[in-house]
Amino acid sequence: MPTTRSLFLPLAALCGLLLSAPASAQDAYPSRPVKVVVALPAGGSVDMVARLVSQQLSADLGQPFVVDNRAGASGQIGVPLVARAAPDGYTLMVSPASFLTTNKSIFKTLPYNPETDFAPVTKLVNQAMVLVVRDKARFATAAKVLAAARAAPGMLTYASSGDGSPQHLVGLLFESRTGAKLLHVPYKGGAPAITDLIGGQVDMVFAPLPEALPHLKGGKLHAVGVLSDKRAVSAPDIPTLREGGIDNVVLSAWIGLLAPARTPQAVLDKLDRSVKTLLRGAAKARLLEAGMEPATEDAMPLAQVIAQEIRLHADLVKAAGLVPQ
């Protein structure tokens, strides 16, 4: 007749297997392809970072990480797909700050909650913003841009990658700090906004430096100034707006990697380690050359950054008198 001890041993072994199974599954992550959603068109700086990071994760973790561009509605098409995805690490998102911060103030309602629907993995890069124009003769300096805006209120146009985007937010900041009135022209992404600037359909763009830099180097666009306290490491020849006579118009943009809320911490940690290795190593020089600064030294966790910037951007939108859509 089996003893109590002999009955207990198989039961203990079974419990051990059950307890260890989730950890083993997470240790084996990923065991199939992973989708990386970008809620913007291909060709912009967010898409570039997403593809660079996806290539690294594929090489490092042994499964394809496939970028899936779902552009439109200022992120409200692609971002909810990630919010509703299974929290297993097989659907991720590379996102600009605006979809997680400014959108909450720009829109009356959102089909996702940026503070509760996601598990932020890490900030990937910081990007300086730069005011770029096509007509260098007319807008050679920041002072000339400001004079033109004040001379014809509401006539000077600036393109953005959509309502609530960093480009839009900078336009609001410019208006708030200078008293000038601009006309906002939203697009579905940074690339088409830059294309129409080159084509002469709009007067200027407050662009992330990576999106503008190739066209600045090629002579198609002219940089009026960067919206930073100091010149950008990747473009030290471009003055700050403050140097050009426009003070207190300072804003940068960032790009982050996120997963759905409740994704296992072991999966998030594995992704974070792999990405940090990339940003400190092989990709660092490439990112700097493209106008982006790896965010490996940022001390504040991404979740805290998002919560803080939601409040800051809400104050800016309110001060600008912008009515949520």
Which residue has 């008293």 as its token pair?
179
pLDDT given at position 8 = 46
Phi, psi angle pair for 62, to nearest 5°: 80, 10
Helical H segments across 43-201, by residue range:
45-61, 79-83, 103-106, 142-151, 166-178, 190-198
**pLDDT beneath 70: ranges in the chain:** 1-26, 320
pLDDT given at position 211 = 86
What CA–CA distance (Å, rounded) separates 241 from 226? 6
| 148 within 8 A of 181, measured Cβ to Cβ | no
| 112 within 8 A of 39, measured Cβ to Cβ | no
pLDDT given at position 297 = 75
* CA proximity to 85, closest of 263, 256, 301: 263
Which residue has 């007067």 as its token pair?
203
| 48 within 8 A of 210, measured Cβ to Cβ | yes
| 194 within 8 A of 176, measured Cβ to Cβ | no
Which letter does DSSP use for residue 324 in this model? P
What CA–CA distance (Å, rounded) separates 258 from 322? 28
CA distance readout (Å), 169 to 213, 246, 260, 313: 20, 16, 26, 8
| 140 within 8 A of 163, measured Cβ to Cβ | no
pLDDT given at position 35 = 98
**Rg for the chain (alpha carbons), in Å?**
23
Q: Cβ atoms within 10 A of the Cβ of 181, count? A: 13
**Residue 5 CA to chain centroid, in angstroms?**
58
| pTM of the entire predicted model | 0.76
Domains of the chain in sequence order: 32-127+253-319 (3.40.190.150), 128-252 (3.40.190.10)
| 263 within 8 A of 188, measured Cβ to Cβ | no
* CA proximity to 121, closest of 254, 261, 302, 276: 302
pLDDT given at position 10 = 55
Residue 215's contacts (CB-CB under 8 Å, 6 or more residues apart) are 132, 194, 198, 221
Q: Where are the beta strands (DSSP E) in 196-291?
A: 204-208, 222-226, 252-260
- What are the tokens at 308? 């803080």
Encode 207-236: b = buried (16+ Cβ within 10 Å), e = exposed: bbbbbbbebbeeeebbbbbbbbeebbebbe
Q: Is 72 left (phi over 0), alpha (psi -120 to 50) or beta?
A: left
